[in-house]
Structures are given as C-alpha cells and as structure tokens.
Structure 1
C-alpha cells in the first residue's frame, strides 16, 4: 500500500540519507513503525490516506497518544503546522532512547556513552554481598561483564576514554574484587587480555572488541552476497554503487553521521585483511589486489627496475587463455618462482564469473567476530604491549598454557593459582619470600612433598625455576597411565601448601602434619570422586555408547551416504552403479597428483587412471581429484556412479556444512554442475587401507608423470 503504483509512489517520496541512494519510505519493527517522507505537495495527505485504508482493511487502529511527528531543523513552520493538522498527533523532539541508547547525537559522545560505564559499575555493585573467589570473578567477567554492552559496541564506535574506563573496571574487579580505591595489579592489563592459549586470561579488550564487531557490518558491505536493505543503502552511501569491487574509492562528500563513521572504522580493518578469488572474467589489477593465496604476487626483478612499464595496469584475465586455464609461459615470465607455484595452483572455476572476496584468516573465507578480534588484538598488543609483557613467558611455558593448563582436572581455582605461579605474579608474597622457597625449597614444603602420595624429593632438579619445575612434573604425571590420579594429588598438594602459608601468615596457625595430610587426602579424594561421577554421567547419562574407531568411521560413512541431497542424482541403491575409488597426493610446491580405479564385482580394478595437476592445499587436491574423475567418467559414458574417497573432511564439507572451506567452494559448484550429467551419483567414505589402489596410483603419478 505504501509503494503502490507508480502514480501513488510519485505522490509519496521517501527520504535519502545522501544523494544517489535508495530512498527509505518505512521501517517496521516488532511493535513500532517508522515512516519517512519529504514534505512536498500532498505527501502528508497521501500518507494519512494510506494509513486510513490499512486500518479499514485490517481492523486495527492507530494509537495517537503513542505516535508522534519529528521534523528536520530546516522544515518551514507553515509545513509543520499543516502536517500536525493532517495527522492530528503531537510533535516530538526526537526518537528518545532505543535499547538504552539515545538516537540523537547532539551532545558530547563521552557524555552519551557514559551510561555503559555506569551499567558495569551497577552490575558489579549488585554482587557486593557475594563471597567470590578469583575463579568466580573471572567467570563473571568473561560471561557477564564483557558482554554487558555488546549491542552498543556492535553499532557505534565507542570513545577511547569510555573503553579504557570499562577495561580498568574489569581489571580492578579481577584483582581487587569489591575493594574501593586503588589496587595493586600483579600483571599488566594487556597481558591479562591475551588469549588463554598465549598465557593470558582471555579477558577481552573492549576497544578491540568494539572494532571487531563494527568490522562485521563492514564485511557485509564488502561481501556482495548480502542483499539486505542495510547493505544496499550503505553500499550506495559509502561506495556509490550497489556492489563492491577491488580498489573502489570511498565517498567522502557530505557530513557523515556517527553511525557511518563507526562503519568506516571497521571498514579500514576489513579492507586491509581481505583477499580475492578471481573469476573467469576477472578485472582485478594484478599488482594491487591480494589474489595469490591471500597475498600479492612478487614480480621478477626486471619489472621492478623498469617500474612495471606497460604492465602497470595488467589484469588477471590477461594471464588466462580464452578457454580457461593459466597462460603458464606468461606467468613464469612475469613472476618469481614462489608466486608462480601459487598462481598455477589456483584453479580457474568455470562457474565463478565474477571475482569473490574472502577472508584468508578463516577456513570458510567468511568474517567472524572471533577471528577478527584475534587479528585486531594481536596488532594492538604488538603496538602497545611492553617488552616485559612480550617476554614474560618462554616458549615452554607458552606451550604449556596453550595445550595443558586450562584442560587440567580439578577446580578452576587450582588452574588460576597455577597460572599466577607460572607468570610469576602471585600476590601477597613478603619481601623475603620467593616462589621457589615457598612451594618447594623450605623445610615445611619439602616435608609435605616427600610425605605426600607421590613422595617427591625436592632437592632434585631444584635449579629450575618453580614454573618449569611444576610443568616438568605435570608432563611426567600425565604420561603415567598406571597412576592416573597422581596428577590430581600433585595439584591438590600445590593448592594446600598455598592455603597453609596464608593461614600461617594471616591467622597464626601452625603446621600439624597429621591434620594437614588428612585434609589433603580428603580434598584429593573428593575431586577424584567428582570427576568419576562426571565421567559416568557423560558416558551413560544420555545412553551414549563408546565405539571403536572403525565403527565410528562406518557410522560416519553411513551418515554421509544419506546426507548429500545436493550430490545424489536418482534414488540411492536403486541401480547398478560403477564404483570408482579416488585419491590425491600433494606437496608444498602446489603440485598435485590424482589416481582412480574402477572396481569390478569382485573388487578387482577394471579401469585405472592417473593425472598430474596443481592445488592450493591437500583438501583442494582431494576435491579436484573427484572433479577429474567425474569428467573422465562422463567422457567414458558412465551414467551410474558411486565415488569413494578416504578424505573424510572433504566429504563432511559436502554433507551439509553451512559455509564451505574457501579452497573447495568453487570446485564443489563445478561438481554440482557436472553431476546433472549422471542418472545416479553418490559419494561414500572408505578407509585408507581399503583405498590402496587409488593411493598407489596417485603416488606413482606424482613420481613419474
């Protein structure tokens, strides 16, 4: 009813956010409706008539008390009075707040967003009556406080002063809890922001998170697959057209709203970290686009010396033959050998007409906030982190934090104590105390370790610093299968020594061996019992049975046979099919080889074939091998096929994954296209030991062809 016919649309024009973009006439929310119009001619009367016709047809009534009119500052007073007379509703100064955020940015941005800081303070104060351990505070920071302002962070660029204040509140809550005033932080805020796999606590930096969330909207604009109203309007606003192409300049004319500036803040990051998949008619510039394995190609030294000359405007389509495929002679003439190998390994997909943008940091080529935040924070840490932060952990300790620390059995508080020991930031130590003396070398600690279940003599290997000593023992105990609970006793002993020390310093308690070892045994037994109950529930609670590896692979194979609707032509099992075994081989230079064998009724090969080519990765080589087999089978006149491969990850990609790996996305499209040539086509998984014929053919092709 709003758009109506052409005559009606001319009488009711929408608003444009700038010249040359799609006009907006209306936006519908769950229980709100917004209408936009230019006050020209009889626009007010026509809109009122549209609303009246809608009410008559639907039986609904507009609530005038909850409705309002908003005018731009340059609207003439006569037009304002006319609209008020036509609609008979009140005039509003603005939209007010939406989800707690004001929609009008007339005042200081710092004053507008100070409510985000107040929300964090209010939530922390609501927990004031709780007795929270460091583990509890960390859980609340990661699950509640870091996500408290996620909506605002994903829409607008937050001032740096506000993000710093929020980061400061999170850090203070972690180290000092509810204590007011200044507190001592035993490691820098940036170090605690590091991911757990790199030695930090994984507390997200709000400034970096803000940019990563804004980059998500920018990615939608760059990725031309998104056809939503938001992308259509803002592509035209920022780029001046409906689709983005490489090297397109950003429109700088006119005043930009804070929302547009926020998107541009994320767009700068996206444009620096995107790459291209060239189409068969690619118009990408060879020297300015990232199209060779996510990077730019390296020209030969002669071209660099001559300043590229007439090849300065060379396009990717100039490097290809008209029928498809790379002009290998020209590629070798222009680029260095390393770039040549990568270019020739990049397939030219016949179904990909236009260039496609992708993210080289993710498997499926799409932008995610998680991957974007990782790249943004790494750059932020390298620019702002101190030398002490960067050298706090050696390679051995970093590997332990990445692979072992946070996967250890036992309560979270044990892991946090261990983390503080490893990074050397355990609070509360007196001047005469060291970590080695407290936990290992003093007389009481030595007696405790020797009298424990493990019977550790601390005078051995005591030249190591405490962190490396603990890592060595944990690594040793993890490998002791006959004493699977030794690791829990070790961690319980470490935690008990720390509790004993605190009780001695702050409560004046003395060390009573009999009482101490009794408490230690009770604590370790309780944790072991809890883990046994958890393992029992995980194994039998939902009726899940444990199967061996071969049964699991067979189950996956059966699921794959019944889960490939896009690649099965004809009813499964209704015809006599030729079974083709296929395999591929690949090396780091981009050389790939493919082998296949057609099996007879007794499993003996009737036809064999092998071929050599190029691929960007082993996964892509397996997919190209399947494509080559289908092309060969089509040429031979086979109409009923079952293609078997031992690459389970490739078959799983075909079995319903929402976003395919960017290395095989285009190849899958070609396979889907050629599959229409067969009456019956299905894919199945086969174990490596049953695919020896195709595997040996691929190896021979790699060696001999």
Structure 2
C-alpha cells in the first residue's frame, strides 16, 4: 500500500520507484490487479488524471486487506460480521461435533476465541458484535450440535473467570479486545521512533503529548481504538528514571514503582515546566537534596529511594503489573478484568481438588460441572422450574449430586 497526494510530482515519484523495483527484481507490477482509493473530496477530474498517470483504472476501498476492510463507514458492526460467520462455521464443523467437553474447551480457547485476535489488535469491535461472538461461543460450549440447543447451566462471566478461581478461564472478548489495543499503545510509548508512532503522533499529537491528548471529533476508527487501549495502559504505567531529561516533574508518573504516582501540592509558576533532570546535581547524577526540600518537601523520602542511572541511560516507561516492566497481553488482561486470586485455604484446597488432581481433562470438567451445578440432576432441574422428574430412578429420593455420586445404594454397589 502506497500513500501519496494527487500532484503529478508524487505520481511520477511512485512510478520511478516501481520502475526501479522492476529493474532490480525482474518482477512487473500488475496494474489490472491494482486499485486506487481516493479521499471523498477529490474531484472527478483529478481522479481521472491520477489514474491515467499511474495506468491504474480500477478504484478500490470496498475490499479487504489482510482480512480487514480498507475503509470504515458508520455501521462498523457490519464490516466485522465475517468474524462471527467464521467462528460459527468452524464450530459447526463435523470434527467439532464429535469432541468431548475437554476437547471443546481446548478448541474454544485455542481456536474460536483466537479467530478475532488480529482484528481486535487493530480496532475496537462494537459491543453488539462482541455479544454475538460471545453467543456463538456459548452455543458451541453447551450445545451437542448446531441444530439442537441445550440449556446453559453456568453464566458466561463464570466461564471467563480464571481457573485459579475454580472456573474455566475462557477469554472475555471485550476485555481481551482492550488488552490487545493496549499492546499497540505500549509500542507507541516504548518505541517512539518507530513508523507507527511517528505517523500517529504527527497527525494527532501536535499540541499535547500522546498520553494526554483528547480524541478529536474527526478521528479515524483506528485512532479511537488506540485511545481505548490507552485508558487501560495508563492505569498501571510509570516511568523509570535514567537521566531524567524527558520526565516532567508535575505531569509524568515517576515517584513509585508500585502505583502510578506524581507530585501533588502547591506549585510555583517558575517550576511548572521542571524536569526530573533539574533535581539532579550536574556531573554526579545524584539528587540535589536542598533543591528537592525547597520544591517538593512532602515527597523527599519517595524521591531519595529512586536511584538515577549512573551511565546516563534515558528514562523509560514501565508497566507496573509485570515483573519485567514490559507490557504483555496476559498481565493487561488481568488488569482489564480486575481479577484477584483468592488466597483462603478452603478455596486453595478446592482448586487443587478440581484442576490439579492427577486425572484426565474430561474428569476435570466433570468435577467442575458437579461443583457448579451444571449437570441435569433432579435438584438442578427443579431450580430451573423443570419439576417433572427430580427423583432418583433407583431409590426415589431427591436426585442431588451428593446422593447420586455418594449415598445412593446403587452407587455404593458400583
């Protein structure tokens, strides 16, 4: 994909580039398979001139590039509908219908929830589309076949909770979408010289830094999606002090490696544009304690715990929830879903009994269904209002999990 304006000089430069490529590689560009996409305000006369100059007669913009639409309109959910269709087609395959519960769970995690990953790493999917994807995944998990719907025994938020909390750990689509978008944001802040960062900051961040810029009224869907990921990243983003040259004292989080923290309190006008490097002694790269005590007296202990770089390394961003300081989709997902591992002894024993016992994955899921009340036992059916057959067929007592697996005389004989 080449981007250029409509001047003859630009068109001639592109033609020269393509000619050099042909000469070097002995490969010819096929103009009949190429297309041009114009801005909506380009006049028809100019369009015809450009197409004639480049020798390309076909106008594009309605096809897909790497599986994503070239242009975005207002109804974005229609543009991503193919993702839902791909998931349903994969789930309805003959091989999928023959899977056990353990096989379904593996396919759900490794294949079906991974289908929209590429699109989600670039754009925010509409909420309605995420709901449709979730519905397709739910039906695949509970239904025996696409033609016969079955009862959903466990809510989706329990299925997406982590295994450490006793659940299945399937990804939540909306949260994972935000997590992948935050990865693009991390790339922009950690590698400011890369092409993506320079283009986006040059277009949208001329007046404010990237982490503080507001969303303009006329912004692409891609930029708005990146800002969604930015909201997640800045919740746990801080700066590691090297030489202090690019870290602003009052606007950047730099005081702590545990929480994003910046100085607060009264600020004199002459100090509002102060950088951390101004708080260091020139030459020795040690803290200027008298200056810190005069400007930031309430933060002296916090600042003195920070060790600036002896070698003069640049300041760098740090993702606080990762031990390496580098953002990862895994750590971002747990922040996006606000999951906390419960440390009580009783729960730890339950997790080990369910998922860590030495047995087959099929029995792991069977134990999970018993614990979650997800089997069609009489007690569970009665809770759903289905009271036609709630007793044990062997002894006539109420069919509960404890009765049918432990106390029934038929079970004891087995």
Matched, 1:274 2:237: yes
- Which residue does the alignment assign to 2:7? 40
> How do residues 616-631 of structure 1 correspond to structure 2 at under 5 angstroms?
none
Aligned-partner Cα distance in 2 for 1:394–1:293: 24
Q: Which runs of no fewer than 5 residues in structure 2 stay unpaired?
A: 380-397
Matched, 1:113 2:74: no
Deviations 1:215-265 (A, max 9, x none): 100111111x35321122112223238xx96x8531645621111111111
Does the 8 Å CA contact 1:297/1:335 hold for their aligned counterparts?
no
Q: 1:310 aligns with which of 263, 268, 291?
A: 268
Aligned-partner Cα distance in 2 for 1:369–1:231: 19
Matched, 1:294 2:261: no
Aligned-partner Cα distance in 1 for 2:338–2:129: 21
Please state whether the residue corresponding to 1:414 is helix, strand or coil: helix
**CA 1:184 to 1:248, structure 2 compared with 1: closer, same or farther past 3 Å?**
closer
> How do residues 454-493 of structure 1 correspond to structure 2 at under 5 angstroms?
none
Please state whether the residue corresponding to 2:309 is helix, strand or coil: coil
- Which residue does the alignment assign to 2:195? 229
Matched, 1:408 2:366: no
Deviations 1:280-309 (A, max 9, x none): 33542257624312325698xxxx8xx525
Return the offset for 1:103.
1.2
Q: 2:287 aligns with which of 326, 338, 347?
A: 326
Deviations 1:347-384 (A, max 9, x none): 121224542111011111111111111110127xx9xx
Matched, 1:239 2:205: yes
Please state whether the residue corresponding to 1:358 is helix, strand or coil: strand
**CA 1:251 to 1:40, structure 2 compared with 1: closer, same or farther past 3 Å?**
farther
**CA 1:133 to 1:320, structure 2 compared with 1: closer, same or farther past 3 Å?**
same
Deviations 1:679-704 (A, max 9, x none): xxxxxxxxxxxxxxxxxxxxxxxxxx
Matched, 1:262 2:225: yes
Does the 8 Å CA contact 1:197/1:401 hold for their aligned counterparts?
no
- Which residue does the alignment assign to 1:160? 127
- Which residue does the alignment assign to 2:400? 434
Does the 8 Å CA contact 1:325/1:348 hold for their aligned counterparts?
yes
Return the offset for 1:82.
2.4
- Which residue does the alignment assign to 1:71? 38
Q: Which runs of no fewer than 5 residues in structure 1 stay unpaired?
A: 1-33, 383-389, 449-512, 517-705
Does the 8 Å CA contact 1:279/1:353 hold for their aligned counterparts?
yes
- Which residue does the alignment assign to 2:386? none
Does the 8 Å CA contact 2:236/2:260 hold for their aligned counterparts?
no
Aligned-partner Cα distance in 1 for 2:303–2:353: 39
- Which residue does the alignment assign to 1:373? 333
More strand by share: 1
- Which residue does the alignment assign to 1:250? 213
Q: 2:369 aligns with which of 397, 412, 420?
A: 420
Aligned-partner Cα distance in 1 for 2:9–2:401: 82
> How do residues 527-606 of structure 1 correspond to structure 2 at under 5 angstroms?
none
Return the offset for 1:56.
4.1
**CA 1:414 to 1:166, structure 2 compared with 1: closer, same or farther past 3 Å?**
same
Q: 1:169 aligns with which of 115, 136, 140?
A: 136
Does the 8 Å CA contact 2:154/2:374 hold for their aligned counterparts?
no
RMSD over aligned CA atoms reads 3.3
- Which residue does the alignment assign to 1:357? 317
Aligned-partner Cα distance in 1 for 2:290–2:16: 69
Aligned-partner Cα distance in 2 for 1:130–1:137: 9
Please state whether the residue corresponding to 2:378 is helix, strand or coil: coil
Does the 8 Å CA contact 1:197/1:403 hold for their aligned counterparts?
no
Aligned-partner Cα distance in 2 for 1:330–1:420: 63
Q: How many aligned positions are there?
A: 391
**CA 1:226 to 1:133, structure 2 compared with 1: closer, same or farther past 3 Å?**
same
Q: 2:172 aligns with which of 205, 211, 214?
A: 205
Aligned-partner Cα distance in 2 for 1:189–1:57: 56
Return the offset for 1:140.
1.1
Aligned-partner Cα distance in 2 for 1:46–1:183: 62
Higher alpha-carbon Rg: 1
Aligned-partner Cα distance in 1 for 2:201–2:408: 68
